[in-house]
Amino acid sequence: MTNETCAGTSISRRGLLGAFAATAVAAAPTYTNAAGFLRGGGDIRRIKMHNPRTGEAMDTIYWVDGRYIREAMNEINVFFRDWRRNEVHAIDNRTLDIIAATHRLVDVREPFMLLSGYRSPATNAMLRARSRGVAKHSLHLQGQAADLRLNSRSVSQVARAAAACSAGGVGKYSRSNFTHIDCGNVRSWGA
């Protein structure tokens, strides 16, 4: 398979054409534009990740035939927990859809590395005290954001794929080597 460069992002021609062709297919109602990039993958949505801080890995189908799978969503909520305080919070389905669509667009088998999912108020306050880059009212507090990394793709490549979904916020943190993805207002920031 050959790779084509699209706006500086290495995305396979097959993956890109499939993603764009999929937007023309009618599907179950969804909350995000990201779902348009998922329609060509059959009637399933999958999250594939690992967490270096907990040593856990996940490869879970969380949506089938227009329905979110409760057991898979519970597993995802635990996986995305605030590992510092071991607190679990529901992760917004829209965020998961953006992450799954982003993963599909970058066209890799490598799982995302989850650096931060849900953050408790105590953890967010501790991180804010250490860094100017942590928002006081972060969407991590509502389970609506994730900080992710792929070793085989740059921060800019992941950010461009996430931004192509036009479904939420995308932050590039190149110095720290991660991309922030959330289901809030469509916006982008960082370098």
Can you give the CATH number for the domain in which 125 is found? 3.30.1380.10
Contacts of 169 (CB under 8 A, 6+ apart): 139, 145, 180, 181, 182, 183, 184, 185, 186, 187, 188, 189
The upper half-sphere exposure of residue 6, i.e. CA atoms within 13 Å in the direction of its Cβ, equals 18
Which residue would you say has higher pLDDT here, 15 or 186? 186
3-state DSSP helix/strand/coil % of the chain, to nearest 5: 35, 30, 40
State the pTM of this model: 0.78
As a whole-number percent, the residues of the chain with pLDDT over 70 amount to 78
Answer yes or no: are the C-beta atoms of 3 and 10 closer than 8 Å. yes
Count of the separate structural domains present in the chain: 1
Q: Which domain holds residue 151?
A: 3-190
For the cut 80, the answer to whether the pLDDT of residue 16 exceeds it is no
Residue 39's pLDDT is 53
Name the pLDDT band for 9 (thresholds 50, 70, 90).
very low
For the cut 50, the answer to whether the pLDDT of residue 84 exceeds it is yes
Report which secondary-structure segment, H or E, holds 78: helix 70-79
